Structure 1
Amino acid sequence: MTHLVFFCGHAGTGKTTIAKRLVGPLMRETGEAFCLLDKDTLYGRYSAAAMGALTGDPNDRDSPLYLQHLREPEYQGLLDTARENLELGVSVIVVGPLSREVRERKLFDRHWLGVGSDVKLRIVWVYTSEETAHARIIARHNPNDAYKLAHWDEYRQRRFAPSGKAREGLIMFDNTVPTKVGFDALLHELLKES
């Protein structure tokens, strides 16, 4: 059985850091090979070139133009790459905001994902307070965050906390003050049987 693990959440929550911290323990505990597919790593340079050509701003990842024309192809390519690895018997960790897909429950739809029942599916929603996320975004000095920071009031309106039906089946992880106990509990949750 292969694993497909999503680390989703808004910017500044620490999705990539958590995924990198857990990939080794997941491989040891399952005895499986895992690959890490981070949306920014896979598509960051491509998006920079495309947005630079379209708008003159290679760091734009949040404007309406980007969201309308590049977001979907990036996510579809990310999922296509995950599916190819799963078909080869390699488990996958996917890192990306995927907030719309969580809200619309698409990540729970195996048909939409293109994966069978032989894939163990886990979806982690990583969250922290808006203030903590904002401070982390400022501290990391990533040029891709410039649009978010310049349009914070607009960006913050897209932030949501899964609740009700959107929260069902999600593994919620508060990454405000990360601890070893918290990471161990998350690892246990990812490994337990459905």
Structure 2
Amino acid sequence: MNLRLLRLTLIGLAIGAVIFGGAALYISGKTINFNQDQQTALPNLGGPFTLVDQHGKTRTDAEFRGKYMLVYFGYTFCPDICPLGLRNISSAIDLLGRDKDQVAPIFITIDPERDTVESLNSYASTIHSSFILLTGSQKEIDTAIQAYNVYAAKARPDGTIAEYLMDHSSLVYLMDRDGKLVDFFAHTEEPQKIADRISRFLIQDMKQNISTK
């Protein structure tokens, strides 16, 4: 793992620790509090958004009620962290098999200045076909970023539009059918583990539906 990837992984995990609490994760001789298995309650993250997808269509969070959402914040110029996270999400979706239709993978840009509808449409061909890629005005993106408590900032604010990189947290949020946060993952999480944890919720839903009939 290169230094930038390690640094941003630690940023994401440290933010996750502050948001979620828990036990200890040991990386490079340093201990970070982060263990979702021991949490008693998740914070109230997420919220309404109105953004535009890679086809120019206006999309809102309400459209995804009844499905789980896997929400990831990143940007198309990202050299390493976002591609890794998106590959892991894409593989996890495939591992769900026929249940994948119950999950909507959503990519929200943190860089609307460069991530236009056209650039998102081009980028979509590099990831899972079920991904919904969203952009909007800076104000609209900031609203989504704040709702999910995402860290995002230009790493080189004095660079040209083609040069600058973005520092950002890199958690993947799993929202339930009502839009509530029920789990989260690091962008480095193994696809099988992501799929297994999503499947747990799908099985719980199935059992609940059977018991209420």
Tell me the TM-score normalised to structure 2 length: 0.32
Tell me the TM-score normalised to structure 1 length: 0.34
